[in-house]
């Protein structure tokens, strides 16, 4: 993982808007549900190595903060 600004939140790495898609999926497989909910095929695309959560949300007209919140809720639920 390349992001050195990790935030540990409740025993797991909190997802932030500057994280790359591949990094998020590698750390939290359950985040894939959220990408599917928003009909995003990012997980298998070539841009997953470089695209950030913010880039994807912005490119698809999503609310960045809500998308990040949904991702974090998905991994929090999986930890419980």
In a domain, 2, yes or no: no
Model confidence, pTM = 0.80
In a domain, 1, yes or no: no
Whole domain around residue 52: which residue ranges? 14-79
Q: How many domains does the chain have?
A: 1
Residue 27 has pLDDT above 60, yes or no: yes
List for the chain the helix, strand, coil content (%; round to 5). Answer: 60, 10, 30
Does residue 65 belong to any structural domain of this protein? yes
Would you say 32 and 75 are in contact if contact means Cβ atoms under 8 Å apart?
no
Query: What distance in Å separates the CA atoms of residue 24 and residue 67, rounded to the nearest whole number?
Result: 13
pLDDT digits (tens, 9 = 90+) for 45-69: 787 889 999 999 999 999 999 999 9
CATH number of the domain within which 43 lies:
1.10.3910.10
In a domain, 31, yes or no: yes
């Amino acid at each position: 993982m390349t992001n050195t600004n990790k935030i540990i939140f409740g025993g797991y790495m909190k997802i932030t808007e500057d994280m790359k898609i591949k990094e998020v999926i590698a750390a939290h497989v359950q985040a894939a549900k959220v990408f599917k909910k928003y009909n995003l095929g990012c997980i298998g695309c070539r841009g997953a190595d470089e695209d950030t959560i913010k880039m994807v949300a912005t490119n698809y007209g999503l609310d960045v903060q809500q998308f990040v919140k949904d991702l974090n809720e998905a991994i929090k639920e999986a930890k419980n």
